[in-house]
């Protein structure tokens, strides 16, 4: 049996307005990077808050590192978290903010300087938090989450406000942590980033888990797609007809035909289009990716 970092069974949170999270079930194995995705308002942050003991579930159970979330004091010393963006005292320096948390958690104060350097804030640790840019605040939030040298790291949108270089640094850091045995549970809107680093994915839609499992299993559920553009946009309808005639699903979006089918069928399509007198300006088979799969499964194109 695989050891689990997080195990969620029928977890629910109901408000007067309805379910924020409804009967969620998923598991995250130890030592993996698990992406947590869903449209805005899908219930990601509510789930994270329940896992951290900040809000009480109205139904179901969950365990973190084998301990029930009804007793967060049993596991939180081994968990690092940044929830809904960084939150610190504006009048204190970044370093002093971390020292407050290190003191509270009983961690060595010397760890603060090292973490400041790890997240790329060396030289700015003494500046007041209110003078930080969004990217620097985000880095400090990650440093705070790393304070306990966590076994489980929960990060909610860690790359918000970071420049491409910063995003790559965070990606490398998370990979390094995972290779050292840390379980990383990370929510992000940057699906391409998650696809690069995640082995597991939990996908939420309107408070319900629509997929939980390995990234490979998720992508295998989706058909490869062939993208087709024609010289004359009116010819796209004919392309769709050709696809339907061969038993492939096809739709037109933004003057591009999206045809579900294996890459090999692209040659057949090219031949049939030529025979029908249609000039193709683009014919590109694409493997399923997380972004497309996400849109398919959540119905969210916002």
Partner 1 sequence: MIRVIFAEWRKLRRPTLFFGTLGAALFFTGLTTTFLYLMIDSEQGNSDRGRRVGREVLNLAGGSVYGFASVGGLLGIIALCVFAAQTSQEYTYGTLRNLLVRQPGRLRILMGKLFAMKLFALILVLITAIVSVSLSVALSDRAKVTTDLWFTSDGFHEIGKTFLNVTISVIYFGIVGMILGLLLRSPISAISIGVLWILIIENLLGAVKPVFLDWMPGNQLTTIAQGGSADISYSHALTLGTSYVIVGAIVAAFLFVRRDVAN
Residues in the site for partner 1, rule: CB under 8 A? 49, 52-56, 72-73, 76, 79, 81, 83-85, 87-92, 96, 99-101, 103-106, 144, 147-148
Separation of alpha carbons 49 and 100, rounded Å: 21
Nearer to partner 1, 54 or 122 (CB): 54
Nearer to partner 1, 72 or 213 (CB): 72
What DSSP line would sit under 155-208, residue for residue? EESTTTT--HHHHHHHHHHHHHHHHTT-EEEEE-S-HHHHHHH-SEEEEEETTE
Decide if 234 contacts 245 (C-beta within 8 A): no
Least separation in angstroms between CB 175 and partner 1: 24
Least separation in angstroms between CB 25 and partner 1: 22
Nearer to partner 1, 98 or 201 (CB): 98
How many other CB atoms are there within 10 angstroms of residue 243's CB atom? 23
Least separation in angstroms between CB 170 and partner 1: 19
Determine the number of helices (DSSP H) and then strands (DSSP E) in the chain: 10, 14
φ, ψ of residue 19 to 5 degrees: the values are -80, 125
Pairing assessment for the beta strands 208-214 and 250-253 based on DSSP bridges: unpaired
List CB contacts of 213: < 8 A, sequence separation 6 or more. 200, 201
Least separation in angstroms between CB 91 and partner 1: 6
Least separation in angstroms between CB 183 and partner 1: 16
Decide if 103 contacts 109 (C-beta within 8 A): yes
Nearer to partner 1, 52 or 297 (CB): 52
Angle, helices 236-245/265-275, rounded to nearest 10 degrees: 120
Least separation in angstroms between CB 237 and partner 1: 50
Nearer to partner 1, 103 or 221 (CB): 103
Nearer to partner 1, 153 or 228 (CB): 153
């Amino acid at each position: 049996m695989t050891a689990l970092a997080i195990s969620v069974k029928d977890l629910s949170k109901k408000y007067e307005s309805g379910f924020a999270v409804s009967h969620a079930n998923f598991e995250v194995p130890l030592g993996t990077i698990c992406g947590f995705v869903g449209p805005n308002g899908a219930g990601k942050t509510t789930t994270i808050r329940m896992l951290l003991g900040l809000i009480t579930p109205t139904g179901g159970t969950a365990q973190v590192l084998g301990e029930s979330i009804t007793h967060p004091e049993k596991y939180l010393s081994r968990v690092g978290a940044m929830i809904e963006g960084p939150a610190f005292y504006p009048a204190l320096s970044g370093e002093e903010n971390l020292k407050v948390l290190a003191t509270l958690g009983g961690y060595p104060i010397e760890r603060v300087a090292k973490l400041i350097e790890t997240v790329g804030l060396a030289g700015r640790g003494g500046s007041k938090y209110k003078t930080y840019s969004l990217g620097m605040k985000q880095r400090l939030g990650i440093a705070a989450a790393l304070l306990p040298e966590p076994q489980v790291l929960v990060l909610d949108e860690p790359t918000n406000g970071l420049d491409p270089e910063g995003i790559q640094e965070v990606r490398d850091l998370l990979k390094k942590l995972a290779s050292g045995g840390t379980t990383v549970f990370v929510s992000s809107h940057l699906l391409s980033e998650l696809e690069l680093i995640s082995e597991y994915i939990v996908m939420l839609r309107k408070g319900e888990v629509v997929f939980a499992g390995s990234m490979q299993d998720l992508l295998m559920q989706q058909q490869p797609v062939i993208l087709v553009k024609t010289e004359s946009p009116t010819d796209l309808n004919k392309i769709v007809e050709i696809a339907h005639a061969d038993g492939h699903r096809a739709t037109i979006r933004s003057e591009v035909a999206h045809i579900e089918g294996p890459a090999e069928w692209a040659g057949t399509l090219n031949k049939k289009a030529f025979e029908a007198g249609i000039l193709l300006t683009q014919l590109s088979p694409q493997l399923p990716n997380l972004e497309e799969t996400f849109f398919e499964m959540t119905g969210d194109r916002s």
